[in-house]
Structure 1
Amino acid sequence: MVARIVEVDVLRGFALFGISVVNAVEGSGAAGAGDGAVYWGYETLLHQRFFPIFSFLFGVSFGLFLDAVGERSRRPRVVMLARLGFLMLFGALHRVLQPDEVLLSYAVVGVVVLVPASFLSGRVVLALGSVATAAGVLVAGGGSLLIPGLFLFGYGVQRGGVEGFLELARKRLVVVFVGAFLCAVVLNVWQVGSGSGVGARLAAVAGVVTAATYVIAILLLLRWRARGLLGVLAPVGRMALTGYIGATLIIWAVDYFVEVSDYGTAVALGIGVFLAELAFSTLWLRHARYGPLEWVWRCLTWWDVVPIRGQREPLGGRSSGGGGRG
């Protein structure tokens, strides 16, 4: 059995936090309002800064799941196609409430791009992912056209050994973080100065670099005493499907009864929704192996009733290591 990796779950939980806040803002009348400090703080720190992380991790998870399926099925790609096919169903239903949702796009790109890429070597996949991501940023201006490249890049990292990526020496991670942080600051200041919005190449580059900076920062913090604190994100990261769709339902319900029209209220709503998801995930996984929608998805994938109770995986899964190598 392929064990879970705590860093991947923590990163996914962190990405869901940002996505919950962004969806709350985008679902209200606050999005795009004004050009002051609050607006640009949202544009440079939150908007399109977590979507790249989520997409990258989908590629990583694709590889991890394919490896796990390979241990129990002679046709792992057929199982993966079934999994992605049912994800299309989740996405189509979710899109009724959230027109900008990504699950349907993820499933389609997974079938069209990731499954064929599984026949290629890890180095080729990583190279293709790098080129496609650069093209998505520089040519297409980001947005949903980043998905194929980030999927391939994440899958390429997994194929090359995600543990090796997560176990990079601390000094090397610090150097990479400093470089990424400085680039992110310059690009975000430039974005504000130029007034570049969604769809602009500069905004797309700034978004991807800022997302990379966040990932490296989380990996560094996991090497130090913040590991225990950040570990609380792992449960919601394990229940990403439940959390993503559940957040939409909560935000939709709140917006139905309460008018949310300013950034402060929308951000507070997003944070509150995420905290509710975090509490629910933590409590749920004390008694179950999978989240509610994750369990339904797994049952549909295998066309069988998969046990949901019984022996549980530890909430944090296993660490990749990297306990502080210099």
Structure 2
Amino acid sequence: MQSDVHTRIPELDAARGFALCGLLVVETWQITDMSATIAPGVMDPTRHLLSVVFEGRFLPIFAFLVGIGFGLLLDQAAERAARPRLVLARQLAALTVLGLIHHWFQPDEVLLPYAVVGLVIVLPSAGLPRWTLLTLGLLGTAGVAALLGGGLGLVPGLFLLGLAAVRFGLPQTLPERTWQIALVFVIAAPLAVLTAAWEYRVPYLDLLGSSAPAVAGLTGALAYLTGLLLLLRTPAGRPVTEMLAPMGRMTLTNYVCATGLILFAGERLHLSGSTDYGAVLLSAAGIAVVQMAVSLLWSYLFRHGPLEWVVCCATWWQWVPIRVSTTGEFHSRL
């Protein structure tokens, strides 16, 4: 999670906003405790389709980007502080507090596990050589997916991959890597389709013990992320960035606030225990549009989202300016 407006990378901010939009669908049926089946052992057809499109695809993107944010923060702290890891430790401590509070309302939330993994895995690994980080990240991600399944078990490996990406200079040179991104997308897209078909064919009762959801989720995440980065390089790239990047800059605030918005919408749409997944899509789209609009308006006036500002002050252990000094400063971030 980047903490300084001057180090923002618009494409990564847009990717964070994209991941938040995708997470809204899965969070909606998790938080409202919807039914996944229409008969014992038979998954609802719409839920089944949405699962192979959304579930397990956006959380890996989110975790990888958080790992990149940790790496960028360490680089920034190395220039500004005598003890860079202490700076990251303070950020992780602040995330722990936020996660504990959020966990009270959303037991499946990820802030607390992310903070714990950051303290246990990222901090001790920060000084490792980049090839070691890459190797451990690949083993931790692919190995867990193949042997143990997906979910939060993938987070340590994805964090290390994000940290390795920073050490190899990938985020800093992202605009120069179009052909590399395209190559990865060309490989990942058909794999994502094949593994999604594999996941779709696994019986509902066998999903828990199958590696199909985790493998399909990772390949889908890779295809989605590289596809988005390619889209941002087309004529449609600027308007897409202008919609998603402000939302991504307020990742913490939007992620936490989404819980309240989902609970509000779920109660009025009577989602608890139902299989009305059309309403899930409608609710998620509505929340995404609201958060995009509010984030855009907020960004005209403030450098950080409300929760981002609190975490930023705790991270640097000082009062951080929050107001945008000029309108031009906002536009320079896009």
TM-score (norm 1): 0.92
Cα offsets for 1:241-277 (capped at 9, x unmatched): 0000010111123334441131111221111111111
Aligned equivalent of 1:120: 128
- 1:31 to partner: Cα distance: 4.7
Displaced runs of 4 or more, over 4 A: none
Aligned equivalent of 1:187: 195
Question: How many residue pairs align between the two structures?
Answer: 318
User: Residues of 1 paired with 2:208 and 2:23: CA distance?
Assistant: 16
- Any stretches of 5+ residues in structure 2 without a counterpart? none
**2:165, 2:171 within 8 Å by CA — same for their partners in 1?**
no
Aligned equivalent of 1:324: none
Q: Does 1:254 align with 2:295?
A: no
User: Residues of 2 paired with 1:202 and 1:102: CA distance?
Assistant: 22
Q: Structure 1's 124 and 317: CA in aligned 2 closer, same or farther, altered over 3 A?
A: farther
- 1:298 to partner: Cα distance: 1.4
Q: For residues 26-105 of structure 1, what are the structure 2 equivalents within 5 Å?
A: 26-34=30-38, 35-105=43-113
Larger proportion of helix: 2
Percent identical among aligned pairs is 39
Across the aligned residues of Structure 1 and Structure 2, the Cα RMSD in angstroms comes to 1.9
User: Residues of 1 paired with 2:167 and 2:325: CA distance?
Assistant: 29
Which is further off, 163-172 or 225-234?
163-172
**1:59, 1:153 within 8 Å by CA — same for their partners in 2?**
yes
Cα offsets for 1:210-255 (capped at 9, x unmatched): 0000011011111111211221100000000000001011112333
Q: Structure 1's 84 and 255: CA in aligned 2 closer, same or farther, altered over 3 A?
A: same
Q: For residues 1-326 of structure 1, what are the structure 2 equivalents within 5 Å?
A: 3-34=7-38, 35-163=43-171, 166-167=174-175, 169-195=177-203, 197-198=207-208, 200-231=210-241, 232-260=243-271, 261=274, 262-311=276-325, 313-314=329-330, 317=333
**1:87, 1:297 within 8 Å by CA — same for their partners in 2?**
yes
**1:12, 1:57 within 8 Å by CA — same for their partners in 2?**
yes
**1:4, 1:317 within 8 Å by CA — same for their partners in 2?**
yes
- The one-letter code of the counterpart of 2:277 is Y
User: Residues of 2 paired with 1:201 and 1:131: CA distance?
Assistant: 15
TM-score (norm 2): 0.90
**1:284, 1:291 within 8 Å by CA — same for their partners in 2?**
yes
- 1:106 to partner: Cα distance: 0.2
**1:122, 1:160 within 8 Å by CA — same for their partners in 2?**
yes
**2:32, 2:263 within 8 Å by CA — same for their partners in 1?**
no
SS at match of 2:7: coil
User: Residues of 2 paired with 1:9 and 1:227: CA distance?
Assistant: 13
Q: Structure 1's 26 and 198: CA in aligned 2 closer, same or farther, altered over 3 A?
A: farther
Cα offsets for 1:283-314 (capped at 9, x unmatched): 00100110011111112233332211143653
